Amino acid sequence: MEMMARFGYGARGAVYCLVGGLALLAALGSGGQTGGSRSALQTLLAQPFGKAWLTVISIGLFGFALWRIVEALTDADHRGTEWKALGVRAAHLVSGGIYASLALFALNLAYGSRQGGGGEDQAAQDWTAWLLSQPFGQWLVGAIGIAVALTGAGFIWKGWRGNVADRLALPAQTHRWAVLLGRFGFAARGVVFILIGGFLFLAALHGNSSEVHGLGGALQSLQSQSYGWLLLGMTAAGLVAFGLFGLVQARYRHLDAPDMGDARAAVAQGKAAVVQGMKTFQ
């Protein structure tokens, strides 16, 4: 489990490096693109050994998705059962599903359809349209948008004042530059999350799923602003920094994969905390 988790952090870091690198080239007018993770993986397919790279990345992303799910259900990071901790664990559970989907996309891209399915924007618009069609769908989409934007604000705060190395066992000689990478990376990721959350909120406000955009749409919106090349360039460089920080996490993050008995006990404890919290709320 620990090996898969470390491999997963590395694969996620590689994807962010690829997305940020392509966007940085676009900002500098040297080619590149302002697409999301899926678009970046599609460009990788055309490179030498592209299918092999996609296979390796997809395995790593499956590992990361598995670790996120295990981490959420068993409290492997020992966050506890307070509401804030449960919220973080729930976000990790959602993250596991997202990265599992991206892993399937990469695998399908390598060995199935050369398009690998629709792009990020289309996928986001499809599930947003489904949510909007449900009872209280606009309220739900709006709440999700606010939650995503608040998560982005939290990332910016963590990049500015937070301890980005709190779960890393860094050697003294690498601590300073690793922390700088983490701060820059979390700040850039926060900007992107705020934009994506804003798109979701506008879609809820207007009842129009076509207003939803993913990572690529967020980068394109930065590029379309005044001094867009600068905004895009800084954000893209930050995404590369976050990708490199992911490689640092792959090597130095503290991981405590639970055994089966501990996992069952932790899941039961988390379930009991949720039930008790709901009773208190009622």
Structure confidence at residue 253 as a pLDDT band (50, 70, 90): very high
> Which stretch of 20-29, 178-187, 190-199, 268-277 has the lowest confidence by average pLDDT?
268-277
- The predicted structure's pLDDT at residue 94: 92
Amino acid at 163: N
- The predicted structure's pLDDT at residue 281: 47
pLDDT above 90 (res 35)? no
Give the residue from 156, 159, 162, 152 showing the smallest Cα distance to 181. 159
Strand partners, 253: 168
- The predicted structure's pLDDT at residue 205: 93
Residues 6+ apart with CB under 8 A from 127: none
Structure confidence at residue 121 as a pLDDT band (50, 70, 90): confident
Amino acid at 123: A
* CB environment 248-278: b (16+ within 10 A), e (fewer): bbbebbebebbeeeebeebbeebeebeeeee
264 or 124: whose pLDDT is higher? 124
- The predicted structure's pLDDT at residue 65: 96
Query: Domain total for the chain?
Result: 1
Instruction: State pLDDT tens for residues 201-229.
Output: 999 999 999 999 999 999 999 999 989 99
Is 81 strand, coil or helix? coil
User: Are residues 247 and 13 in contact, defined by beta-carbon separation less than 8 angstroms?
Assistant: yes
Instruction: State pLDDT tens for residues 146-188.
Output: 999 999 999 999 999 999 998 999 999 999 999 999 999 999 9
pLDDT above 80 (res 114)? no
Tokens coding 189:
């990721």
pTM of the model: 0.88
Structure confidence at residue 258 as a pLDDT band (50, 70, 90): confident
Question: What is the residue range of 15's domain?
Answer: 2-281
